[in-house]
Structure 1
């Protein structure tokens, strides 16, 4: 799948080093389930698992975000398709060197377009740490509605954190 500046594709074995690099940045790992540094060996396993998934089947699928002009991996968009194939959860990670340039908005928008227009989903949800203002802002910019604020919902990295819940219906997608 392609946008004006990006290609969203299946992960390849050659992506492991770059994945490990941006997942090792402390500000990237801060609100995620992994810790920094993120070893290359762990990235190799992750990339193999990502490559084995299917965007059409229930479960997780991870899109690699490649910057077309530089042919470089700059992040990823994760989609967990529910068993009913009508709902999904979405998440995203972007290398800090490529943040604040509209790439995440462009990539997530393309994935949402596929989910709603091609796959016929009814609803897509997103969840983020309440302190992760850029992720919440991205979801809101794309038309998601904040549906909940769960206080001290997740115990991660030695602390309880609040979670924000977002939802977007197919009828609300542009």
Structure 2
């Protein structure tokens, strides 16, 4: 485990996660505001999970943390560590059956604690589709500040979308 919270573990993916990963990432509502298209086939899920399993969380670029609840994969957190190793971008996905129970908030807080306390990152940023009010509320709940709105900024899944920008400095984070 990289991070342990009261109910969750943030860990490296294993090949055993492929089926659960494919299931929640294949849900059209889960994929609606995300970069992938649903459904996610088993072969694709296996390839992705295998690649995630070999990633290095301390290296620049994207790393996917598996969100584990009592040995069950319930979602994932993506962290894009900047080349300077002092800032990162965050993203998150939780399976529908586990939404609305505070797991995403707990997982994001756990990762932020790790990033700010253990790694001493200076800043973490996030962005989301402006229509994704649940994600925006989660980011604000854990302390992110809304820093901007880019109107009709992204051509995404066949339409122009607005992007909300969020940021959080280590000096402003309250854990």
TM-score norm. by structure 1 comes to 0.97
Which aligned segments of 4 or more residues in structure 1 are displaced greater than 6 angstroms?
Answer: none
Task: Tell me how far 1:160 sits from its aligned partner.
Answer: 0.7
> How far apart, in 1, do the equivalents of 2:153 and 2:49 lie?
29
What aligned pairs does 1:91-110 form with structure 2 within 5 A after superposition? 91-110=91-110
SS of the residue 2:39 aligns to: coil
Deviation by residue 1:19-56 (Cα, 9 ceiling, x = unmatched)? 00000111100000111111111111111111111111
Q: Secondary structure at the match of 1:138?
A: helix
Aligned counterpart in structure 2 of residue 12 of structure 1, from 14, 27, 30: 14
Q: Distance in 2 between matches of 1:115 and 1:57?
A: 13
Gaps of 5+ in 2: none
Please state whether the residue corresponding to 1:167 is helix, strand or coil: strand
- Equivalences for 1:14-163 in 2 at 5 Å? 14-68=16-70, 71-163=71-163
Query: How many residues align structurally?
Result: 172
1:72-98 CA-partner distances (Å, limit 9, x unpaired): 100000000000000000000000110
3-state DSSP of counterpart to 2:4: coil
The gaps in structure 1 that reach 5 residues or longer are: none
How many angstroms apart in 1 are the aligned matches of 2:124 and 2:73?
A: 25
CA distance in 2, matches of 1:39, 1:33: 15
Report the CA distance between 1:125 and its aligned residue. Answer: 0.1
